[in-house]
A and B are shown apart, each in its own frame.
Chain A
């Protein structure tokens, strides 16, 4: 291709692919985007359902742990309670008929049996003490690893006012005292049971059996509860005093209500009331120290009537869920990055040949067929497409090469045709006036081939001073074959005209010669005439040609349609008759081919004989040249834009004197 015909791809409207429209990027964005959305949805769903689930579980656990703590404490305390109850019962049953030594032995046994027991006392109501007892209130207790003994009444009868004695004495039933700090610094609680003696007046109080129970193990028990970070457990007494609390300064020093008072927190007071109501319960709670959302659950000890409570942090749970979700998001994000890389890699391997192709193709579209195309790789659709592109490019190249060759050939033929046309036009005389020295005739002719060369021709020549030869002919078909035949026919006719002036015989000989080697059945319609200029005699013969017109000075126009014969060429031996007419001075002859009356307009309407006659009637005063010019103008006006179908040839002769 001519480099000048190559264009810039941009001129074809083929710009680079914008980044967001690139296949690879679209694939990446859609795949990773959708996966990301799904991941986010999953994370959110996971987070929400997890949180709901864990929240429920936290509540269940809080209740469970609070109740569990209460039960475990109860289990320990009830063991001790049973022991003391048992001691009171057996003392009562034996009517306290035992010595001090026996009592102390009993106490030592109890301390041995119950490691949770710190000490145990039997305190007499003083007036009931048997006289042989050396002590009013024998008290056995632990002192480190060994057991010690002490008479609580050693320093007087102060114990009568102590809760542990007074309460069972006056309430007449077993009593758990409020917890207290023992002089050893340990938290303790005392369980006292009255011991009765039967009498005629009913049971009489003899004394009180007590057991002192150390409470430090409660802290350990509560601390060991699985409450999670920020979770804690506590124990409050019947009066709301904190027995165990993770904050040291609160245990045994504060009560729920004193704290509520100190903090000005009516919510805490309300909670305290609920907790001391005796029923287990649970409520949301804001941790005082941490300010975190929590769950507070509590249960009641059936032995002492205390309340065990646990706080489980909801915020902590939330944090854990968030941390878990974060981990999942992190893993998901990692997965997304992997997906991004994988899709990117796959998309790249898929689109690389497409990209290469799309970058190379505009060059081809712009006409640069030598632009390099990527080589097809593999057997996939893109490889196929690339192969097709190669084939297309090669075919295009081949096609253009062929086209160039064809064009060159056609140009050569056209050049030759132009030369042929020049030669053909030289075959017909075209200098007018043809005989300027003669004033006895007017002669003019026009030929306008439909193609470069045609099959029409006219001819004229002076046979001698008095005789002029006129001929017009139309070879079958058009173009080069017709032109070749025309050249032959014209030469033969010219030769015959010079040999014999009889038009009929001219045509007979011409026909015989043409028919000799004419397998293609070419033929020529031909009218020829010999005009005697001195007397106006015209002899003529017609081989199947359009009848000429006789334009008489009288104004009438006649067809010279007889005699007429068969077109010359197809078969030998045809006969042609010679006709005669007499031209008056001023009479004219119009010879023409069917390209005149059969000239067609775009609607296939013929120019027609009527219009031909009309024009001739209108131009009787005009010279031959003016008449032909006017006729040709009429014909061309009629055909308009329509393609010229046939050669247009006309010759007009007028005898002047």
Chain B
């Protein structure tokens, strides 16, 4: 798994590539949680994410909860079908905001302060 950070508008976008499972989730958790405070909006771009295990879901849940507590918009975008299926199955699609594209996510989340 690789993680890239990009700044776009006021949003910090994490591009996650490869497999997000029990062995790679801790790395994402470390990067993601430590940088949550550095931007007004956090978006996870999953366009290159091939697989998501429950351990990955947990990290995203954690981020969602923390952002919600801080009143900071958080969302994930561009999920592949297999990954979206996991979200649907676990029901987390109701908790974590998902968007079809990064533009859509930015438009919805990165509102001017």
Q: Which residues of A contact B (CB under 8 A)?
A: 455, 474-479, 520-523, 525, 543-546, 564-567, 570-571, 594, 645-646
Using an 8 Å CB-CB cutoff, how does the interface string of B56-71 with A read, 1 for contact, 0 for none?
0111011001000000
CA distance in complex: A315, B65 (Å):
116
- A sample of 23 inter-chain contacts (CB < 8 A) reads A455-B54, A475-B54, A476-B55, A476-B57, A477-B55, A478-B55, A521-B58, A521-B65, A522-B58, A525-B89, A543-B91, A544-B89, A544-B92, A546-B89, A564-B89, A564-B91, A565-B91, A566-B90, A567-B57, A570-B92, A571-B95, A594-B54, A646-B53
Contact among B21, B53, B59, B91 for A566, CB-based, below 8 A: B91
User: Residues of A contacting B25 with CB < 8 Å?
Assistant: 477
CA distance in complex: A501, B102 (Å):
45
A/B pair count, beta carbons within 8 Å: 59
CA distance in complex: A594, B92 (Å):
16
Size band of the B side of the interface? 10 to 19
Q: Name the residue on B nearest A479 (C-beta).
A: B22
User: Residues of A contacting B62 with CB < 8 Å?
Assistant: 520-521
B107 contacts chain A at the CB level, 8 A cutoff: no
Using an 8 Å CB-CB cutoff, how does the interface string of B69-111 with A read, 1 for contact, 0 for none?
0000000000000000000011110110000000000000000
Q: Name the residue on A nearest B87 (C-beta).
A: A544
Q: Name the residue on B nearest A477 (C-beta).
A: B55
Contact among B54, B65, B91 for A477, CB-based, below 8 A: B54
User: Residues of A contacting B22 with CB < 8 Å?
Assistant: 477-479
B21/A645 in contact, CB under 8 A: yes
CA distance in complex: A99, B62 (Å):
167
CA distance in complex: A546, B91 (Å):
11
Q: Which residues of B contact A (CB under 8 A)?
A: 21-22, 25, 53-55, 57-59, 61-62, 65, 89-92, 94-95
CA distance in complex: A115, B32 (Å):
135
User: Residues of A contacting B95 with CB < 8 Å?
Assistant: 566, 570-571
User: Residues of A contacting B61 with CB < 8 Å?
Assistant: 521, 523, 570
CA distance in complex: A475, B58 (Å):
10
A570/B54 in contact, CB under 8 A: no
User: Residues of B contacting A565 with CB < 8 Å?
Assistant: 91
User: Residues of A contacting B92 with CB < 8 Å?
Assistant: 544, 566-567, 570
Closest beta carbon of chain B to A511's beta carbon, Å: 11
User: Residues of A contacting B59 with CB < 8 Å?
Assistant: 521
User: Residues of B contacting A455 with CB < 8 Å?
Assistant: 54
User: Residues of A contacting B89 with CB < 8 Å?
Assistant: 525, 544-546, 564
User: Residues of A contacting B57 with CB < 8 Å?
Assistant: 476, 523, 567
CA distance in complex: A122, B91 (Å):
168
User: Residues of B contacting A525 with CB < 8 Å?
Assistant: 54, 89-90
Closest beta carbon of chain A to B107's beta carbon, Å: 26
CA distance in complex: A565, B59 (Å):
20
Closest beta carbon of chain B to A620's beta carbon, Å: 26
Closest beta carbon of chain A to B108's beta carbon, Å: 21
Closest beta carbon of chain A to B43's beta carbon, Å: 19
Given contacts A520-B58, A571-B95, 4 further A-B contacts (CB under 8 A): A477-B25, A478-B55, A521-B65, A567-B91
B58/A566 in contact, CB under 8 A: no
Q: Name the residue on A nearest B96 (C-beta).
A: A570
Q: Name the residue on B nearest A525 (C-beta).
A: B90
Closest beta carbon of chain A to B28's beta carbon, Å: 13
User: Residues of B contacting A570 with CB < 8 Å?
Assistant: 61, 65, 92, 95
CA distance in complex: A646, B23 (Å):
12
User: Residues of A contacting B94 with CB < 8 Å?
Assistant: 566
User: Residues of B contacting A522 with CB < 8 Å?
Assistant: 58
CA distance in complex: A522, B89 (Å):
16
User: Residues of B contacting A566 with CB < 8 Å?
Assistant: 90-92, 94-95
CA distance in complex: A545, B89 (Å):
6
User: Residues of B contacting A645 with CB < 8 Å?
Assistant: 21
Q: Name the residue on A nearest B53 (C-beta).
A: A646
Closest beta carbon of chain A to B27's beta carbon, Å: 14
A476/B58 in contact, CB under 8 A: yes
CA distance in complex: A63, B59 (Å):
116
CA distance in complex: A646, B54 (Å):
10
Closest 10 CB pairs of A and B: A566-B91, A544-B90, A476-B54, A544-B91, A521-B62, A521-B61, A477-B55, A476-B58, A567-B90, A570-B61
Closest beta carbon of chain A to B57's beta carbon, Å: 6
Q: Name the residue on A nearest B68 (C-beta).
A: A571
Closest beta carbon of chain A to B100's beta carbon, Å: 21
CA distance in complex: A523, B64 (Å):
14
User: Residues of A contacting B65 with CB < 8 Å?
Assistant: 521, 570-571
| Most-contacted residue by chain B among A476, A525, A546, A645 (CB, 10 A) | A476
CA distance in complex: A474, B89 (Å):
12
User: Residues of B contacting A594 with CB < 8 Å?
Assistant: 54
Closest beta carbon of chain A to B67's beta carbon, Å: 12
Closest beta carbon of chain B to A600's beta carbon, Å: 9
Q: Name the residue on A nearest B61 (C-beta).
A: A521
CA distance in complex: A646, B90 (Å):
16
CA distance in complex: A594, B55 (Å):
13
CA distance in complex: A570, B94 (Å):
12
CA distance in complex: A474, B22 (Å):
14
User: Residues of A contacting B53 with CB < 8 Å?
Assistant: 646
CA distance in complex: A476, B21 (Å):
10
User: Residues of B contacting A544 with CB < 8 Å?
Assistant: 89-92
Closest beta carbon of chain B to A577's beta carbon, Å: 12
Closest beta carbon of chain A to B55's beta carbon, Å: 4
User: Residues of B contacting A543 with CB < 8 Å?
Assistant: 91
Q: Name the residue on B nearest A561 (C-beta).
A: B89
User: Residues of B contacting A571 with CB < 8 Å?
Assistant: 65, 95
User: Residues of B contacting A523 with CB < 8 Å?
Assistant: 54, 57-58, 61, 90
CA distance in complex: A475, B25 (Å):
15
Closest beta carbon of chain A to B31's beta carbon, Å: 16
CA distance in complex: A545, B58 (Å):
15
User: Residues of B contacting A474 with CB < 8 Å?
Assistant: 54
